[in-house]
Structure 1
């Protein structure tokens, strides 16, 4: 893999998965050795090892990996550098081990020869997060901007030569490190970087990365391994017993074959790893008492920091010299300031083999001698036998520090542990609330909900109940229970602090709107008005759901105009305005607002909020007829949503793409895109898309039945369902039931008159023409389409219907003009069913052939992948590769790679020629 990366500048990531002792570490060592021997550029090797004891130390894995190149963080774009420093908790020469090191931190459990698994085969701080409860999308920001920073850093290093990142025991990485490294690994493409993750069966998902499952050795391979160890004293009988008991596990083969009395029967029902652990435990038990004590201290300390082990040992009457026997027994290796167990199972055997009293004594000594506050808190908590406010407060401070480094899961675990050790009931409730909110920010919804419910049992202060309600509401909404989420907020707003009331009511109304909960929207508006808060958006929504478009839509339009002249301060408010723009159907304003917000979020690295902005952008790009752009935008939104733990958004984004599939007549794709829509909030567009497909394919009865159901849905008062009402009119007329068109026609007229948008008025006149069979109404509709210039699909539908009307009126020559225009638009949109209808109508007017049309640049862009299209558009605007990389969360090298692939597809040779294409 490394030689391929060097030759072609390609990158790759792979997860090596297997049981303990299967040879994962040995494979990593072999890869590192091969990289060192490969001719050409020198390979930079960065390494990290996960440790169970460090899984609650935020960014501990990142520290190990990046410490040797920490000076290069200064070369990153400012926002990325700041996010990575914050994630690492860096200030000057900060070290996660509590000391400053001129040559880097200790590298615990790292051994250049890895004897335990070797085989012969090459095989900013926030101390009170609950005060500002946020949804997962609001909080993924610094975590994943840090991932982009890691990607950029590795890419820049690869400009000087290939980079190899080796991460061992990934199942014990802290959550922050794991998420950050995975974010970077999924975006590797053309940098010359390879990332290898070695992990046991469980605990590290590696979603989105290829995996290699390591299997046990065959009998023949196991024999070769034993032969290579030159175990001359092993009798044939003992040799067979070792082979049988090891079951092809390399570590078991080595340990069973090397141990005194090799081949002695061990309890066979035990898994291989447990038998190896038992063998290690027997070897440890044979050591002197003080040696066992120092081994226990090292195992409990967990990070391999030798000074901490020595300091705790001094308090218990042991010292460095007592580790000599363990070194001679090849159980540990001491190098510089680190003490490394030859294999994690040795550490486990040491710790688990000690008595509970001895373990507590060791943790007390480690806590008393610790110089790092996080380690002190961890060991004091491990030694606590009963609730202790002093220890709980120290854990809370450690959680605050983890939160400041965006270690949300780590912080949550520490807050929860602090709550368990808190004697006071109110303080326990508060800390459980802090833990719940941190879990929410980490995207771990089930844990957030469970702890919020637990905190509610203890909480007495009304404000605490309001904060917990906000957490539980965010969880409910992410799960798809938007009505329950809205009611949670509205019912608990009376407990909230005055400054939190408007936000809770606004969010509650938004949740309620997405599921058509009319009563909750109205109640939100009433409570806002009673509290003296003039919220035009909520008032507007309350009027709209009541069918009072004349009072509701102007309020939304006024809010949008205000936002365009003076943008709101928070991302939540700006996204709320964009949603109002989508509801109103003001495409020009919404496109401007969504593009501006997406650029701002990219510029500031606020990745967590980006999927919502991109979803809105894709929706308005679809209505503007920019289908390929919409698909590229949606693809990016889905990728980011997946990487930031917001999988529920995938279904909502897919529903935006469902309208494109419906227009193009792609029934299979439409079925896939809407498969999970019923269980996801904000997916009312799915039924609208399916009914549009039925209409396009001439299945008018089926379409009408579905559209009648949509008309009875509480969510019918949206611009998307305005189009459904227009489709309902057409379906009713096509089936010869004009009486069933009266109600939807009245709705379309009322909406269009109240909103005053040209495209909506054009659609209303088209519906009027269908019902009244009026050519004058068609002509008025087309004039309005011409005035608006947007919504090309709606314009083409009007032209098709008018052409049909003219042909029926025997005005064949006149009919050809709108029919040709309709066919041109339909073909450009790849709207196959509609193109065929227009072509058929043209033939009926006596115009033969009606060949398909080529659309030059539009056809060229269809050759590009979604990511290539995004890169090409930005490059055509004169934006540098480095800036494009920052905007699209890629590496600069990957941007260049996409351009290199796109040029021949577009028939150009350089960036300069992109300008000539007028993309």
Structure 2
């Protein structure tokens, strides 16, 4: 039962393959205790065939016995006087090939280690792999000579790290048949630090039925609890009191607070005892000393060993000592053995205060805890539902999902439906969200009878409308929310933060700007401000102000110090990556994508998946890393039943990648769902979604000139009406291609120049490169080779600066096809058959020889398929060949 170790097994396989070639290898498999090093090596050994396996192990009581481990391997006494003689003696007896595995290498006697090390140096030409297994941090008592030998063999080290939450879920399924939720798997990972041994122990010890419910915390495995219990039993009463106080207060807390709770005036000597026992660690930073446990399981073991009466007394005293109101309330809960309406009410009030600030994670914890100690059944259910709603707002969807069965078991109502609809939005389930939210609104009846609930439903409808790209609906629902509650209410603030985007999506950019200007007076700092800055950043990117967009989106991304929401941070990161792409900071864009993608995986916020992975796919394609590009396309895939906010970036990403590879039929195919969309206002609004130029260009490149003309006209009119510079430039270069295809080269040149002029004041290097490239292709086809050379060189320089190697190569081919010189000054023709190929023939032959079809070559070089066939026929004739394979062979020979 080995999961999550594919990379480590691949490393071992690679080392074994090297050993098979006659290059002996000594590999070090290291990692923390219990991480699964031995299980990994056993799995590796069990699948080997044709390699005799010899194994031995070290032991601390044998580490001073010379040749102890070598005697295990040779099964006979060692008579050699030094390590080199012993190495030769063992090699003489060892078959070829051979695999030697040493467990607990850190406890192996020095003489045996020296002999094994010498064997590797003297086994030239033999198929020999030696695997040493040891911890990554050597324990006390290991000989200095042993440590030096191990250190000298770190060249081929395989580090075995913690399992990922997904690995833990798979392990649970295999071990006990329990399908852990992502939230439970993540918490089990945090509790065990991803170590397989305690994970397996807990899977066996906790009843299977309990794994599907919500657990406040996990216990320590019984074996670990026993070890901690013995260590705790050996401590003095004061030391034990200090350790138990630390367990009550949390994973990391100030020493002064721990000492106060334990009733110890001078904790210095006491702390020394806790440190010696290995139960507490100390850290000092800027004069403040904090205490923590070596791992969460140790804290759980100490906490579980405290008796009920002392447990309640410690928590009751802690509630009077801590400064944070939320911490005090949670301590009161732990000090309360039964349901307590008064404490539950205080938690509810605290949650409402945190919700006003947008601190949904704190609000969720308070509400769910309050629901567990609320005596009244109906009120208990309402608090649980609100807690799940807050978890959704905090983007902790895996944890929210664990409560869904409990919520679905209660009778339907507007609050229940609104919360489940909100969760459905974040998970990207458009139809489910629409059904639940419209049902919630209809159940409500008179909105003014419960204005807060009505405003909350309106706010969910605002987000639903945004995800559907329905700007008019978004504005209408936002206005309803503002009419129902005060401007400072969370539902009103969140609705107004998005309202400006709805206005801009429907062409009312000035009204959108005014809307955000009016919010400045009553938006609080923290999460409320974060929402507004995210939306303003998105708007700035859409209206050709990427520098402003970057400032706003970077400010909206952090959550740690400003009390922001992870959900809004992910929106900010998605649009920040697009902004960084537009500005040419592609390295920054990829880092933003990678950071956001990792957070998406942990939150389950599927609504934003395509938006985040869009930039990753495009950048990697442009840089020629097609494996990475395809992976981003896969992870960002969406279908026609998904939200428009998911479908649109998914389609555009696939089309942009297809354009990079000159697959213009693919571009049309990928964008077809956008052409067929019924609600189009936000989709076609200039600046929001850069797809019309992609589609129009592909129509031209596939010879559908009249279709391209009719498709482009409304987009040109809209861009001109809005005065949107980059949108005018993008559709302008397509108009230039149309003019050229109809033989009007002068009009084509004029439109291309106007497009470049529109972009001149904007910091958009990729757009300039793209237009220059299209301009150059068009001029070359029209026979204007010198004009083509100039603009293609400009495109090449921009692409090179961006790292867009895919287009740098295409520019070089265009320059060669034009018969002038390439960017590095090298001649465009080679001495192929005494220079018998024209530049155009050379370009066609190069692509065909590399495996491209005639259709692909036509798209790449902006020629008709018939023209490609004509050039190819002439190439065949000049070379005296008859097939593409012969052409490829001819080029290989010339190279």
- TM-score, normalised with respect to structure 1: 0.48
Q: Higher relative contact order by CA 8 Å / sep ≥ 6: 1 or 2?
A: 1
Greater gyration radius: 2
